[in-house]
């Protein structure tokens, strides 16, 4: 039988971002309902490598990413430990962006002006210096750009820890409830209808449903042109800890880190194309190319790992925008509607500050970060009649 | 077969410690029965969630030993039949394989 469930805030999507928003809002005393089409955190939130990359992050995202590094992640690390006894393993470890040629090294330096603007600390070191710091690096790495602000967390524990804590603060989670329509009441977003026939009413509706957001937002005439791209990750057996920094190749051939647990979690941009299936939902699956190309990339930088065993691999979807940068805003034309989607594969690193900023927007507090460049209308064409920047609906 | 949709609103009863709570269930990751039962009371209501939250089945044997045990514990806490619970997602490779083997491109 269909039901009507009311709350102050409704979050669509129980991933790291949705759960973080639910956590901060429930903690502040608001009533929160969370809808999830599968089960809690079964999307890209628990399928990523857990990196917070800062170097070469989309420039408009840097402000909110810095908010995370400086305030939100360390706070969350402490709070979740106290509240639900979960160690999310967040650490600002620093990270190396490795170059295999001098040409790549030159390219790495193009990020300097953006980093300076946000007070990020970049350091350019040659191969010798890199091997002095981490002797396991092979000669194939000729240099690296070190960014002190990069870090990592355990995405599984973060997503589920946030869920557990939000639940303790009174947030309600509904599984197997796929939101299919947003209803407007007097022009404002007030209701969400699910495939199961239930109706959820709220004053504020947050859409954080990864690639599912596009279809849902289409019901209120908002279209964010992202496609979904398949991405794969593998993990090795634990080996003695030899580095805590995150490591990314400047060409994207490999990226990952050694977890607090000792295992190496690495993904690879296999360059076999984005596997985009726009508009259709295809099962998350593995291709046969990713692990071999990732294993090859990893062995080139860390040859001593050749006998290390890969024990598990998995895949997930990116919701990839044309500029690889997220959309985060309170939609002007639809009061009460907030969007956080299009994270393009590096959303987990800013999940906590995005959740916090969403809660600040809902509660009308001053925002902790500048998100003015993250509006979705940057993808819209100019209005051909009036020349206005934004096409009005 | 009908899938069990976890009811996240409440779990009946409170967490009551049991005498064998310190029994190791997942040998690879050294996770005890008590830890698994605690996780269920923290809201981990599916096999995948327990796996992600605590790591049973994420070690070298990939759950060959403990999956059924974890499932039985979950079924008992939720008071449902174990056969109705969904499995955690199996992951390739079925046996650990060295990086060297994966990286070898020869036919």
Whether the CB of A37 is below 8 Å from some CB of chain B: the reply is no
pLDDT, position A1? 62
pLDDT, position A270? 44
Range of the domain at A273: 95-148+227-320
**Same-domain pairing of A275 and A316:** yes
Whether the CB of A188 is below 8 Å from some CB of chain B: the reply is no
Kindly give the residue spans of alpha helices, DSSP state H, lying in B6-86. Answer: 33-41, 47-54, 67-78
CB pairs under 8 A between A and B: 95
**Same-domain pairing of A199 and A249:** no
CATH, residue A331: 3.50.50.60
Q: Which of B53, B92, B102 sits opposite A156 (nearest CB)?
A: B53
- Residue A351 near residue A45 (C-beta atoms within 8 A): yes
The interface pTM score, or ipTM, of the predicted complex is 0.93
**Same-domain pairing of A164 and A45:** yes
Structure tokens at B1: 């077969």
pTM summary value: 0.94
- Which residues, including other chains, have CB under 8 Å from residue A34's CB and lie 6 or more apart? A10, A11, A12, A13, A14, A18, A19, A22, A166, A171, A172, A173, A174
**Same-domain pairing of A260 and A231:** yes
Do the domain assignments include residue A64? no
Burial-class residue A260 by CB neighbours within 10 Å (0-12, 13-18, 19+).
middle
B53 vs B8, more confident: B53
Selection from A199, A201, A216 nearest residue A1 by Cα: A199
**Same-domain pairing of A232 and A217:** no
Q: Which of A280, A296, A320 is the last residue of a domain?
A: A320
Count of positions (residues) in chain B? 107
Do the domain assignments include residue A27? yes
**Same-domain pairing of A143 and A232:** yes
Q: Which of A252, A287, A320 is the last residue of a domain?
A: A320
Within a 13 Å sphere around the CA of A38, how many CA atoms are in the beta-carbon half? 16
Query: In Å, how far is B98's CA from the nearest CA of chain A?
Result: 4
Per-residue pLDDT of chain A (393 residues; tens, 9 = 90+): 688 999 999 999 999 999 999 999 999 999 999 999 999 999 889 999 899 999 999 999 999 999 999 999 999 999 999 999 999 999 999 999 999 999 999 999 999 999 999 999 999 999 999 999 999 999 999 999 999 999 999 999 999 999 999 999 999 999 999 999 999 999 999 999 999 999 999 999 999 999 899 999 999 999 898 887 778 899 999 999 999 999 998 887 788 999 999 999 998 754 333 334 444 444 456 666 778 888 888 898 999 999 999 999 988 888 888 888 999 999 998 999 999 999 988 999 999 999 999 999 999 999 999 999 999 988 887 666 666 665 544
- d(C-alpha A74, C-alpha A191), whole Å: 35
- Residue A43 near residue B52 (C-beta atoms within 8 A): no
Distance of CA A143 to the CA centre of its chain: 28
Query: Across the interface, do B6 and A84 touch by the CB < 8 Å criterion?
Result: no
**Which residues lie across from A9 on neighbouring strands?**
A32, A204
**Same-domain pairing of A23 and A44:** yes
How many distinct structural domains can be found in chain A? 2
pLDDT, position A250? 85
Within a 13 Å sphere around the CA of B91, how many CA atoms are in the beta-carbon half? 26
% helix / strand / coil in chain B, to the nearest 5? Answer: 35, 5, 60
pLDDT, position A227? 80
pLDDT, position A374? 95
Do the domain assignments include residue A90? no
Do the domain assignments include residue A76? no
Do the domain assignments include residue A391? no
CATH, residue A113: 3.30.9.10
**Same-domain pairing of A197 and A334:** yes
pLDDT, position A275? 39
Do the domain assignments include residue A388? no
Whether the CB of A260 is below 8 Å from some CB of chain B: the reply is no
**Same-domain pairing of A254 and A314:** yes
**Same-domain pairing of A190 and A257:** no
| Interhelix angle B33-41/B67-78, nearest 10 degrees | 40
Is pLDDT above 80 for B105? no
- d(C-alpha A274, C-alpha B14), whole Å: 48
pLDDT, position A11? 98
A85 conformational bin, left if phi > 0, alpha if psi -120 to 50, beta if neither: left
pLDDT, position A287? 67
Do the domain assignments include residue A212? yes
pLDDT, position B12? 63
Q: Which of A282, A304, A320 is the last residue of a domain?
A: A320
pLDDT, position A291? 81
Q: What are phi and psi of A267, to 5 degrees?
A: -120, 170
Query: Across the interface, do B8 and A175 touch by the CB < 8 Å criterion?
Result: yes
**Same-domain pairing of A241 and A348:** no
- Other CB atoms within a 10 A radius of the CB of residue A373 amount to 15
**Same-domain pairing of A314 and A368:** no
pLDDT, position A288? 67
pLDDT in tens, A213-247: 999 999 999 989 888 777 889 999 999 999 999 99
pLDDT in tens, A47-68: 998 999 999 999 999 999 999 9
The Cα-based distances of A70 to A77, A152, A339, B57 in angstroms read 12, 13, 24, 35
Structure tokens at A81: 């430990």
Prior bond of A196 cis (ω within 30°): no
Do the domain assignments include residue A60? no
């Amino acid at each position: 039988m269909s039901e009507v469930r009311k709350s102050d805030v409704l979050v669509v999507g129980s991933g790291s971002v949705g759960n973080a928003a639910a956590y901060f809002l429930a903690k502040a005393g608001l009533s929160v309902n969370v809808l999830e089409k599968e089960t809690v955190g079964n999307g890209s939130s628990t399928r990523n490598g857990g990196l917070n990359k800062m170097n070469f992050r989309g420039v408009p995202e840097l402000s909110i990413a810095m908010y995370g590094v400086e305030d939100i992640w360390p706070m969350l690390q402490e709070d979740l430990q106290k509240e639900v006894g979960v160690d999310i393993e967040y650490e600002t470890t620093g990270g190396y962006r490795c170059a295999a040629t001098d040409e790549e090294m030159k390219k790495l330096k193009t990020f300097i002006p953006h980093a300076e603007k946000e007070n990020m600390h970049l350091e350019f070191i040659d191969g010798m210096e890199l091997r002095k710091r981490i002797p396991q690096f092979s000669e194939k790495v000729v240099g690296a750009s070190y960014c002190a602000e990069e870090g990592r967390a355990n995405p599984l524990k973060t997503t589920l820890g946030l869920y557990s804590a939000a639940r303790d603060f009174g947030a309600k989670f509904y599984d197997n409830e796929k939101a299919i329509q947003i209803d407007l009441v007097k022009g404002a977003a007030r209701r969400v209808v699910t495939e199961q026939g239930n109706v959820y009413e709220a004053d504020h509706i947050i859409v954080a449903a990864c690639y599912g957001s596009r279809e849902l937002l289409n019901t209120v005439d908002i279209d964010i042109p992202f496609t979904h791209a398949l991405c794969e990750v593998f993990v090795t057996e634990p080996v003695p800890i030899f580095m805590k920094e995150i490591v990314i190749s400047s060409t994207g051939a490999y990226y990952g880190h050694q977890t607090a647990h000792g295992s190496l979690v690495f993904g690879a941009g296999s360059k076999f194309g984005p596997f985009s299936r726009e508009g259709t939902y295809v099962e998350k699956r593995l291709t046969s190319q990713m692990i071999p190309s990732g294993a090859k990339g990893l062995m080139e930088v860390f040859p001593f790992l050749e006998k290390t065993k890969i024990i598990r691999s998995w895949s997930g979807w990116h919701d990839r925008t044309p500029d690889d940068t997220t959309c985060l805003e309170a939609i002007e034309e639809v009061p009460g509607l907030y969007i956080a989607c299009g994270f393009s594969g590096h959303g987990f690193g800013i999940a906590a500050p995005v959740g916090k900023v969403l809660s600040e927007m809902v509660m009308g507090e001053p925002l902790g970060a500048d998100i003015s460049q993250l509006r979705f209308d940057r993808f819209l064409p100019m209005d051909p009649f009036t020349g206005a920047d934004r096409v009005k609906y | 077969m009908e899938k069990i949709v976890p009811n996240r609103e409440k779990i009946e009863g409170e967490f009551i410690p049991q005498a064998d709570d310190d029994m190791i269930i997942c040998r690879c990751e050294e996770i005890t029965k008590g830890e698994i039962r605690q996780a269920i009371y923290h809201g981990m209501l599916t096999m995948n969630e327990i796996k992600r939250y605590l790591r049973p089945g994420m070690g070298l044997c990939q759950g060959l030993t403990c999956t059924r045990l974890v499932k039985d514990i979950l079924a008992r806490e939720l008071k449902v039949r174990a056969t109705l619970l969904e499995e955690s997602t199996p992951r390739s490779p079925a046996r650990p394989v060295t990086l060297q083997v994966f990286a070898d491109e020869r036919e």
